[in-house]
Amino acid sequence: MTEIFDDLEGMRAEFNDALSGTETPEALQQVKVLFLGKKGKLTSWLKNLGSLPPEERPRAGEAVNSLRDDFESRLADRRVFLEERQSSEVERRSGLDVTLPARGRTWGGIHPVAQLMHDVVEILAGLGFSVALGPEIEDDFHNFEALNIPASHPARDMQDTFYFPDGHLLRTHTSPVQVRSMLAHGAPLRIACPGKVYRKDSDPTHSPMFNQLEGLLVEKDISVADMKGCLEVLMEGIFARPLKARYRGSYFPFTEPSLELDIECVECSGKNPSCRICKGTGWLEVAGLGMVHPNVLRSGGIDPEVFNGFAWGIGLDRLAMLKYGLTDLRVLFDGNVPYLLSGRTFSC
């Protein structure tokens, strides 16, 4: 009895040897015929089953059938293995050059100034500022009078203005939006006013049209320290790292006290005396700011004895140039696709 099973185990070992040697479907077919074919080893063995004593036949039959099932499933597994291996070979031989250009449209880009504007309003939204927009064609009241800049005031020299024949003008700053917002909403108020502004000026550092973002906060008991805090969060957000700040006294008709904010040079951090960005000073002028002048609050219908606040203005174009390392302001408005794309990481 035991010999029968020894024989079967011997056949299993023989099958394993044969199977593991197969490398092609043809060889596999030969192994199948050798063991399971009409004259195959297991088949012939099965035919000998009748010579066993009747009481041993069921167990022997069971063992032989199980061996056959095993052989068949092992043959099928090996077939899948060989076929996939063969297919992989074909795949490899017909492989792609993955460095070919992409199909479909690529090369899109958002304008750096627009990108910065979106970044800035998101940072400011986190500080509670909502975006307020207003007309680009303004009147003298909203652009000047309401902002404590009377006619013929020398401060108007600071902002050379484009006029229309009917006396309207192109806003020289987005401050008129502040006036309109105060009149519309009163205090408390936190707004950010991005937009195009215009001044009659054109040279490598001035464009007749540029993009500003002004902020206004009018609440109770606001100090210069609150203003500094907001501006520093904003600058840190824009440049994604903390930067040294320096405040200087200044003058704007619509704020009192008035300040200017310098940040450490983003190019050289003040370490390069011949730095072309900061001219060796180590500082970059980035914002005009101040506590809102009581006259401006009054123009906005707000009682300056109850509320006070601060306002600031930043030039988005200049900040975008600093952030993205651009050198000529006018190129931003030049409509030149290769230039706009040249700042990107991929190459043409």
Partner 1 sequence: MLITWNLLKDILSIPASVEEVAERLTLTGCEVESLTRPGEKLRGIRIARVNSLRPHPEKETLWVAEMDDGRGTALVVTAAPNLSAGDYVPWGRPGAVLADGTVLGAKDFGSVHSEGMLLSAEELGVPQAADEFGILRLPEDAPLGEDAPSWLGLDDVVLDLSVTPNRGDLLSLLGVAREVYALFPGSEWKKNPADLPESGAKDWPVPFQGITLKTPGCSRYCLGFVTDLKGGSSPLRVRIALSLLGMRPISPMVDATNLAMLTLGQPTHAFDALRLPAPEITVRPSRPGEKFTTLDGKSHIMAEGDMLITSGDVPVGIAGVMGGENSEILPETKTVFIESASFDSLSVSRTSRRLGIPSEAAFRYARTVDRKMAPVALKYIFSLLEEWSAGTAGFAILDRTDCPDDDRRTVPLTREKLGKVLLTDDLDEASAILNRLGIIEKSSSPEGRIFSVPSWRPDISIEEDLLEEVGRIRGYNETLAPRLPRVLYGRGDIGPVTRLKGDLRKILLSRGYVELLNYSFLSPSFISLLRLPEEDRRARPLSLANPLSAEQSKMRTTLLPGLLRGVERSVLAGWRTGIRVFELGRVFLPLPEGGHEEVEKVAGVVYGGRDGRLPWGHSEEEDFFSLKGDVLTLGESRGICLDFLRGHEPFGHEGQTARILSAGRDGGYLLRLKPAVEKELDCAPLYAFEFDLGILENPVLPNFRELTPYPPVLRDISLFVPADSSVDEVISRIRSSGGDLLQDVRLFDIYSGKGVPEGFRSLAFSLSYQKKDQTLKDEAVEEIHSTIRNTLTSFGYILR
Among 231, 265, 289, 314, which residue sits at the site for Zn ion (rule: CB under 5 A)? 265
257 contact choice in partner 1, Zn ion, none (CB below 5 to 8 Å, kind-dependent): partner 1
Q: SS3 of 133, please?
A: coil
Q: Which amino acid is at 224?
A: V
Residue 102 CB, shortest distance to partner 1, in Å, is: 10
Residue 213 CB, shortest distance to Zn ion, in Å, is: 23
Q: Among the candidate windows 7-15, 67-75, 208-216, 259-267, which touches Zn ion by CB under 5 A?
A: 259-267
Based on the shown chain and the rule CB under 5 A, indicate whether residue 267 belongs to the binding site for Zn ion: yes
Based on the shown chain and the rule CB under 8 A, indicate whether residue 234 belongs to the binding site for partner 1: no
Residue 123 to residue 128: CA distance in whole angstroms: 9
Binding mask 272-291 for Zn ion (x = CB under 5 A): ---x-xx-------------
Based on the shown chain and the rule CB under 5 A, indicate whether residue 316 belongs to the binding site for Zn ion: no
User: Per-residue DSSP letters for 81-94?
Assistant: HHHHHHHHHHHHHT
Q: Among residues 146 and 259, whose Cβ is nearest to partner 1?
A: 259
Residue 296 to residue 121: CA distance in whole angstroms: 24
Residue 341 to residue 126: CA distance in whole angstroms: 30
Contact indicator for 241, 327 with CB cutoff of 8 Å: no
Q: Among residues 29 and 272, whose Cβ is nearest to Zn ion?
A: 272
Count of positions on this chain that bind partner 1 (CB under 8 A): 93
126 contact choice in partner 1, Zn ion, none (CB below 5 to 8 Å, kind-dependent): partner 1
Q: Among residues 19 and 253, whose Cβ is nearest to partner 1?
A: 253
Q: SS3 of 50, please?
A: helix
User: Per-residue DSSP letters for 131-163?
Assistant: E----SEE-HHHHTGGGT--TT-GGGGGS---B
Cα angle for residues 11, 15, 20 (degrees, 5° grid)? 155
Based on the shown chain and the rule CB under 8 A, indicate whether residue 337 belongs to the binding site for partner 1: yes
Residue 18 CB, shortest distance to partner 1, in Å, is: 49
268 contact choice in partner 1, Zn ion, none (CB below 5 to 8 Å, kind-dependent): Zn ion
Tokens linked to 99: 């460095």
Tokens linked to 141: 């009241």
* Cα end-to-end distance, the chain, whole Å: 80
Residue 77 to residue 84: CA distance in whole angstroms: 11
| 317-336 positions binding partner 1, by CB under 8 A | 332-336
Based on the shown chain and the rule CB under 5 A, indicate whether residue 340 belongs to the binding site for Zn ion: no
Tokens linked to 115: 């990108």
275 contact choice in partner 1, Zn ion, none (CB below 5 to 8 Å, kind-dependent): Zn ion
334 contact choice in Zn ion, partner 1, none (CB below 5 to 8 Å, kind-dependent): partner 1
Instruction: Classify strands 255-264 and 209-219 as parallel, antiparallel or unpaired.
Output: unpaired
Q: Which amino acid is at 319?
A: L
Other beta carbons within 10 angstroms of residue 31's beta carbon come to 22
Binding mask 183-222 for partner 1 (x = CB under 8 A): -----x-x-x-x-x-x-x-x-----xx-x-----x-x-xx
157 contact choice in Zn ion, partner 1, none (CB below 5 to 8 Å, kind-dependent): partner 1
**DSSP-assigned letter for residue 253:** T
The pairs formed by 100-108 with CB atoms below 8 angstroms and a separation of 24 or more are 107/341
Among 293, 321, 322, 329, which residue sits at the site for partner 1 (rule: CB under 8 A)? 293
Residue 29 CB, shortest distance to partner 1, in Å, is: 42
| 118-177 positions binding partner 1, by CB under 8 A | 118, 121-122, 124-133, 135-137, 150-155, 157-158, 162-165, 170
Among 18, 34, 268, 341, which residue sits at the site for Zn ion (rule: CB under 5 A)? 268
Based on the shown chain and the rule CB under 8 A, indicate whether residue 306 belongs to the binding site for partner 1: no
Contact indicator for 207, 333 with CB cutoff of 8 Å: yes
Residue 292 to residue 188: CA distance in whole angstroms: 13
Q: Which residues bind Zn ion (CB under 5 A)?
A: 265, 267-268, 275, 277-278
